[in-house]
A and B are shown apart, each in its own frame.
Chain A
Amino acid sequence: MPLSLIATLCLLTSQAPGPIPTPRDSAFHALNRLAYGARPGEADSVARFGVMRWIERQLDADHVDDSHVAEREREFKILDYNRADLAGRYRDATRERQRLQREAAATGDSTRMRDARPMQEFRELGGELQQLAIVRAALSERQLREVMVDFWTNHFNVFVGKGADRFLLPSYIEETIRPRALGRFEDLVIATAESPAMLFYLDNAQSVAPGSVPPQQRRSLFSLRRRFGMNEMPEQRRQRRPTGINENYARELLELHTLGVDGGYTQQDIIEVARIFTGWSIEPPERGSGFVFRDWAHDRGEKHVFGLTFKDDGKDEGIRLLKSLASEHATMHHVSAKLCARFVADDPPDGCIDAAVAAWQKTGGDIRAVLRAIFTSPDFWSAQAVRSKVKTPFEFVVSAVRATGVEPDDTPRLAQLVARLGEPLYQQPAPTGYAETEAHWVNSGALLARMNAAMGIAKDCSSIPANADHTQLVDMIDQQLLAGTMSAHTKSVILEQLTDVTDPVQARALAVGLALGGPDFQKQ
């Protein structure tokens, strides 16, 4: 069945109580979910192009020209560094800090240490990553891919503030997540499992078979903590050598990344999985901090988990396990439900989840096929789904920037705004990532913060001409920001507020601010 026909059928069969949605309404809905909202005029252009055709283009991201973003990316020096560069700089900064600490201890003067702030570069690095994410989300033509990068970065969350993750995160995003965002789920699970960022974040780098001893003590894994800096002093480090398995990664792999919390596994399963991953570790910074499998640290004993047996097969044990987990029914269901919560509704109907699972089964976890199943399911287009989800802080800021034609600059302003609204990117310490649901984002302080943010962004609005006729002005705002979906109540309140504002530029700022900060624009 041609896709355009499916779209028509979906729209016709949706249980809309009101008028049948126009192609423009459908385009606006698709732009709100597959993209970070519509730019001025974009709902119309997507409607003309054909919504389903546009969705197919978004799924085929590699063939969408994205030269403008490529140009903007050049401003970010972080993209010029590879992991080995950063590892070296991090090691130097750690040494410098230790030197300053020794100096401070000897002289009793810690002011120099405070002033020098050797780790400052790595704090700024985190800020630059946030800005880069905003530039890409706001400007990329490959919108769906950016949405999926955000989804997977959050699904496989790594906290940038934990020790070595300060310098491991850039390569995690660029090399682990981004190239696979629309690929196969299995590849993503394997890539994150092997990523130094995840190995450090969830402590697997320190997980060793009990009683195992490194071949050369001098350059041992045991000094990993020192090399990566865990804010611990030498004496303590010697006493805190890893002597056994660490279950953290194994637990989150099952609970969050694959099977889900109700995936039917036991504590014994977690231990078996942790044993399988013993030896999956990180090279020291002087060797580039890449992935390394340490044979000596691997538990060679027999492990039984999920009906499989693993024995003395080195790193392949972990790969075999990950492949098996990626195709478990619980995994398909868990991840599909999460995708539907992102694209359809906070509490998604079974129909779209089942469609996604079926596509997963048929294609062996091809993410594009799973997404296509969601976007063509009647649930995605139903009246209950349209404008039912509240934007996350990141979605709110980026969609406001897109709608108002604001070009994200190279200052941390917008990234700080997202942080102030409660979602500082890459700074979620818990491996759960940020929540997707309205209940987590809507509270009184957060809404006031959104109103303030809206007034700030409105000042730079360039997509709407100043207009002395207030009715025309509000109509224009309705069309450009909300594709004509602004409620009559919102319109009348804004018009009332404009009555005694004579300066057209001031009127525009006020009206756009109220529209962005009001209830209509919070929804997607």
Chain B
Amino acid sequence: MTISRRVFVKAGGLTLVSLGMDPLFLARAAFAARRPGGPSAHSILVCLFQRGAVDGLNMIVPHGEPAYYQERPRIAVPAADVVDLDGHFGLHPSLAPLKELWDNKSLAAIHAIGSPDGTRSHFDAQDYMESGTPGVKSTGDGWMNRYCQHDREHEDTPFRAVAFGPQLPRILAGSAPSLAIDDLQAFGLRVPQEAARDRLTRAFEELYDGAGTGLLASSSREGFEAVQMLKRADPSQYRPAAGVEYPQGRLGKTLLQIAQLIKADVGLEIAFADCSGWDTHVNQGSSEGQLSARLRELGLALAAFNHDLGERMRNVVVLTMSEFGRTIRENGNSGTDHGHATAMLALGGPVNGGRVLGRWPGLSVEQRFEGRDVAVTTDFRDLFGEILARHLGATDLGTVFPGYTPSPAQFLGAIRA
């Protein structure tokens, strides 16, 4: 690329932009050209963190397990309501919109997954799942950021790793550039009028252009590129694919924006979003109720996302995660307390779907963790590591998960070979 940013700025920007020749456009074209198979051929990972510890047993219901019904007289999902998957497990009825993904083999469930650390504190367990170092509190950065530090193939785009929310979450904290975007439409300088906003943006761009080299200069450049790329993508004009409707609420809005970024071909590789409301200590409900409402929103949002992206889902993996599961036995308040293992969902074209993965430990007392919770048979790092290696092509998992090297022998086969 020979047109430098300085030339762009000095030439007054607008002329070049009107010709479709701004350097950002060129940068994007260069980005796309590096990848065989067109602009969207690179792999994308979307992670949703179910903060609060989702009840894996009522999300992916072991309806073939009598102990499940014995321990949960008030909150078990009746077998008749469960959307059966394989005769033993089934989806909570609120997740029925995902059944077609199971049928076309692009949805897998992973059961009895969790942390080797036994903590039942949300704070500690979320911290461990995001730092990727269970039991070690002093790890400064998150595992997603460490992946970005070591596999720098995509570093020419500011949109490589994006967290949706006001702040960068722990999982993306670290030295590799990553963006926190609260709202795509409001990303950039907050000036109501477009002309004034553009002008101020150019002014700051020029100020930082004189900052020479260093992190301030390169980061500001990335920021302005992001703003320009978004402007071209024009988030306010985005319409999902025909017939697709995202559910009301934060999650639907977030997944819509992620779909939008993916379609804009701005180089997104990792998207991360929070999805809260899973700490169901009281009145959790069974087929209907509190948890059911949360799962319905999740199921509808994921199904809408899948339809919205359509053909592009062949390069996308969506993964749900949660810090731990909940007690096998319901508590005195028709809810569940903090437990150990939980379930996660993986969906998308690269997923080896139509299967419940992971070794099922069983629910009888002697099979439980500390006599009360679902035992962990899959270390979450084995699943995250497999997705990083086989889907995103990570080459050095040892640095992503220090003190632990997920080995292919431990992989569950969540991603198609």
Contacts and interface: CB of A to CB of B under 8 A. Distances in A.
Contact of A490 (B140, B210, B327): B210
B175 A440 contact: yes
Contact of B137 (A231, A248, A447): A248
Interface string A405-435: 0000000000000011010100001111001
A240 B120 contact: yes
A101 B208 contact: no
Contact of A443 (B127, B137, B166, B178): B178
B179 A445 contact: yes
B332 A105 contact: yes
Size class of the B contact interface (CB-based, 8 Å): 35 or more
A518 B167 contact: no
Interface string A80-114: 00000000000000000000011011001010010
A447 B333 contact: no
B290 interface: yes
A191 to B, nearest CB: 21
B140 A435 contact: yes
B23 to A, nearest CB: 16
Interface in B204-229: 204, 206-208, 210-211, 215-217, 219-227
Contacts of A255: 138
A514 B170 CA distance: 31
A448 B327 contact: no
B269 interface: no
Given A235-B332, A424-B167, A104 B282 contact: yes
Which among A105, A255, A443, A497 has the highest number of chain B CB atoms within 10 Å?
A443
A451 B204 contact: yes
Contacts of A234: 332
Contact of A261 (B138, B166, B224, B331): B138
B186 to A, nearest CB: 10
A156 to B, nearest CB: 13
A255 B180 CA distance: 30
B138 A429 contact: no
A236 B223 contact: no
Interface class of chain B by DSSP = loop
B29 interface: no
A110 B207 contact: no
A444 B181 CA distance: 11
Which of A430, A445, A487 has most chain B Cβ within 10 Å?
A445
A203 to B, nearest CB: 9
A442 B215 contact: yes
A444 B333 contact: no
Nearest to A248: B137
A194 to B, nearest CB: 21
Nearest to A100: B282
B137 A514 contact: no
B246 to A, nearest CB: 24
Given A261-B138, A448-B188, A448-B189, A236 B120 contact: yes
B168 interface: yes
Nearest to B139: A430
Interface in A215-250: 230-236, 239-240, 248
A439 B158 contact: no
A261 B140 CA distance: 12
B116 to A, nearest CB: 15
B119 to A, nearest CB: 9
A430 B215 contact: no
A519 to B, nearest CB: 4
A445 B178 CA distance: 8
A77 interface: no
The interface centre, meaning the residue of B167, B188, B217, B226 with most chain A CB atoms within 10 A of its CB, is B167
A447 B227 CA distance: 12
A230 B121 contact: yes
B135 to A, nearest CB: 9
B123 interface: yes
A438 interface: yes
A240 B138 CA distance: 25
B138 A493 contact: no
A412 to B, nearest CB: 14
B123 A233 contact: no
Interface of A: 101-102, 104-105, 108, 110, 113, 159, 161-162, 230-236, 239-240, 248, 251-252, 255-256, 261, 390, 419-420, 422, 424, 429-432, 435, 438-440, 442-448, 451-452, 455, 487, 489-490, 493-494, 497, 514, 517-519, 522
13 contacts: A105-B283, A232-B120, A240-B120, A248-B137, A422-B167, A430-B131, A430-B137, A439-B175, A442-B219, A448-B188, A455-B200, A490-B210, A519-B208
Interface of B: 120-123, 127, 131, 137-140, 158, 166-168, 170, 173-175, 177-181, 187-191, 199-200, 203-204, 206-208, 210-211, 215-217, 219-227, 279, 281-283, 290, 327, 331-335, 337-338, 370, 372
